[in-house]
Amino acid sequence: RTLDTSKAKQFRSGIGQLDEEGVVQVLREPDIGDQAPILAAVGPLQFEVVQHRLENEFGAPVELVPCAWSTARITDQESTEALRGMSGVTVAARSDGELLALFESPYWLQRLEMDQPELTLTKLIAEGS
């Protein structure tokens, strides 16, 4: 989130450009939207790059807050309805509209896959097999 609300436009512009460049993926929770975007990356260095660029190229001072999610799966609208309100999982949308289920631990994911195998929870390509 930006630390200076008067820089919200620069922040949104910077986040959008970094998403387009593939530096990070920008996720948004349906009920929250642009107020608190979720940045998804493979490693911590990417977050340092994002913070540096937002502050130095776009003039938007930011605070990056670590999130509890450790695992993600592609899901669909039908499964999203079932996942809402479940403990340990949040659903957010990528900028391309793809829905992702974000899990606080692999345990929550494994348990859900066992208890509700009918839900769509597809591995991400970068995750491998």
Q: What is the CATH number of the domain that holds 102?
A: 3.30.70
Say whether both 87 and 118 belong to one domain: yes
Rounded Cα distance, 36 and 16, in Å = 13
Does residue 50 sit within a domain? yes
Contact 89, 69 (CB under 8 A): no
Quote the number of domains for the chain.
2
Does residue 129 sit within a domain? no
Name the phi and psi angles at 5, rounded to 5.
Answer: -60, -25
Rounded Cα distance, 85 and 58, in Å = 36
Does residue 22 sit within a domain? yes
The domain of 79 spans: 71-124
In the structure encoding, which two tokens stand for residue 127, read together?
């995750």
Q: What does the pLDDT profile of the chain (129 residues) look like in tens digits?
A: 888 989 999 999 999 999 999 999 999 987 776 778 999 988 889 999 999 999 999 999 999 999 989 899 999 999 999 998 888 999 999 999 999 999 999 998 999 999 999 999 999 876 554
Does residue 42 sit within a domain? yes
Does residue 16 sit within a domain? yes
Say whether both 111 and 86 belong to one domain: yes
Kindly report the pTM of this predicted structure: 0.85
